[in-house]
Structure 1
Amino acid sequence: MDLDAEAQAIAAEAFRAVLDPSAWSAVADRLARMCEGPAIVSMRVFGADGSHERIVGLTGVDETALGAYLSHYSAINPYNALVTSAPDNRITYDDALIDRGIVRRSAFYNEWRHPIVPGGGGLLLNVARNAQSVLALAFDLDDRGMEIAPKRIEPLLARLSASLWQATELAQRVVTESASGAIGAVIGTMSVGAIAIDRLGHVVNANDAAEALFGRGFLYLDRTRRVHGKTPFAESMLQYLLSEALGARPRTATIRLRDYGADGDIFLTAVPMVPEKPFARAWALLPDDDAPSAIVYLATERQREIDVTRRLVVLFDLSSVEAGLAYAIYRGMKREDAAARLGLSHFEAAVALETAMRKMDVTRYRDLARRVGHLSRMAG
Structure 2
Amino acid sequence: MRRVSEEIGLAVDHAACDPAAWDAVMAEIGRLLPGVWPVLQMVDAAAGTGLPLVQWGWDPAHIRAYEAHYGAVNPWISVILTTPTMVAMHSEERMPVSSLRRTEFYADWLSRLGGMTASSGIKLIDADGRLAVLNLQHDLARASRDHGRLAAVMGRIGPRMRRAIETNRACFPVSAALAPGETLLERVADPAFVVTRDLVTRDLRLVEASRAGRALIAEGEVLRVGALDRIQVRNPDLAAAMAREAALACGDAPSPGSPPGPMRIGGETWQVTAIGLRQDLRGVLGMARLLVPDQLALIVLRRVAASGGGGPERLAGFGLSPAEARLALLMDGSRSLVEAAASLGIRHETARSQLRQVFAKLGVSRQSELAVFILRLRQGA
Q: Could you say which TM-score interval applies, normalised by the shorter chain? A: 0.3 to 0.5
TM-score calculated relative to the size of structure 2: 0.43
Rg larger in 1 or in 2? 1
Report 1 or 2 for greater relative contact order, CA contacts < 8 Å, sequence distance ≥ 6.
Answer: 2
